[in-house]
Structure 1
Amino acid sequence: MKVIVTSIFVDDQDNALEFYTNTLGFVKKHDVPQGEFRWLTVVSPEDPEGTEIVLEPNNHQAAKQYQERLRQDGIPVTMFGVDNIQQEYERLKGQGVKFTMDPTNAGPVTIAIFDDTCGNLIQIAQPNR
């Protein structure tokens, strides 16, 4: 068994697609109308057949509460791996991304946390070697 799809709740699918593709560098994989919303997924350009991230509308009250509570408590909704965290941090800051935690050594990894503009905190991590 392996993970093929995971979801991130977002408050605006268009804004999320813009941020996840143009700012973070993911690639749109699916964009299928589903009534009021869309089946909207992105993938890493490094693994286009790998795990898809669904940019899932947070229109259900439980999803909104989950998203809001994690954000209030400073908890990232997911983690993305990077090869060079300092370089990625500088690249994203240069694009106006707001970080809530600058690169910080956390034992086996160095982590940083940023706001995805869609209601979530996202963590990036680089293994310490």
Structure 2
Amino acid sequence: MTVSLSGVHVLAEDLDAALAFYRDTLGLTVRNQVAQGGFRWITLVTDSQPEIAIVLSQPHAGRSKEDGDALAALLAKGELQMLQLRSDDLDATFDKIAAAPGAEVLQEPVSQPWGARDIAVRDPAGNLVRIEQG
């Protein structure tokens, strides 16, 4: 039996701002966009790992109002789980993110004590994104 990662969900109130960050700034490719029940979600992939998707969706999509409100509150506080990515050129990636509208730099490129060289940013929705040199 083999189990592998197929996707990661990232919440965003403003899907257009999130799409601009992940597609235009980070270079991911849109696989599909689906609208249903007044909400939509966007699936993005990378050229190097097209089998692993990042799915952008809204906190209230497919949830009760109470659960959506709770997730939206956590998202607004920046308290949801972080997304970890890898870049083959961390400095160039950092420069693009630093110039991107809506992104917040939390940590410039630095070598960490555990061996990784990485950056930390918040995407336009407030999600913590760490990117390491790969």
**What corresponds to 1:15 in structure 2?**
17
**What corresponds to 1:65 in structure 2?**
73
Identity %, equivalent residues:
24
**What corresponds to 2:121 in structure 1?**
114
TM-score of the two chains, using structure 1 as the length reference: 0.82
Structure 1 residues 7 and 18, CA, compared in 2 at 3 Å: closer, same or farther?
same
Give the superposed CA RMSD: 2.0
Q: Do 1:76 and 1:123's aligned partners in 2 also have CA atoms closer than 8 Å?
A: no
Letter in 1 for 2:71: A
Question: How many residues of Structure 1 are paired with residues of Structure 2 in the alignment?
Answer: 123
Q: Which runs of 5+ in 1 are unaligned?
A: none
Shift of residue 31 of structure 1? 0.5
Q: Do 2:75 and 2:125's aligned partners in 1 also have CA atoms closer than 8 Å?
A: no
Shift of residue 46 of structure 1? 2.2
Q: Do 2:21 and 2:100's aligned partners in 1 also have CA atoms closer than 8 Å?
A: no
Q: Do 2:15 and 2:57's aligned partners in 1 also have CA atoms closer than 8 Å?
A: yes
Letter in 1 for 2:59: N
Shift of residue 93 of structure 1? 2.3
- 2:42 aligned counterpart, secondary structure: strand
Q: Distance in 2 between matches of 1:84 and 1:23?
A: 13
**What corresponds to 2:94 in structure 1?**
89
Which deviations, in whole Å up to 9, do the C-alpha atoms of 1:51-104 show, x marking residues without a partner? 1111020221232233244x26xx862110112222321233244543111112
- 2:110 aligned counterpart, secondary structure: strand
Q: Distance in 2 between matches of 1:91 and 1:67?
A: 23
Match of 2:111 among 92, 95, 105: 105
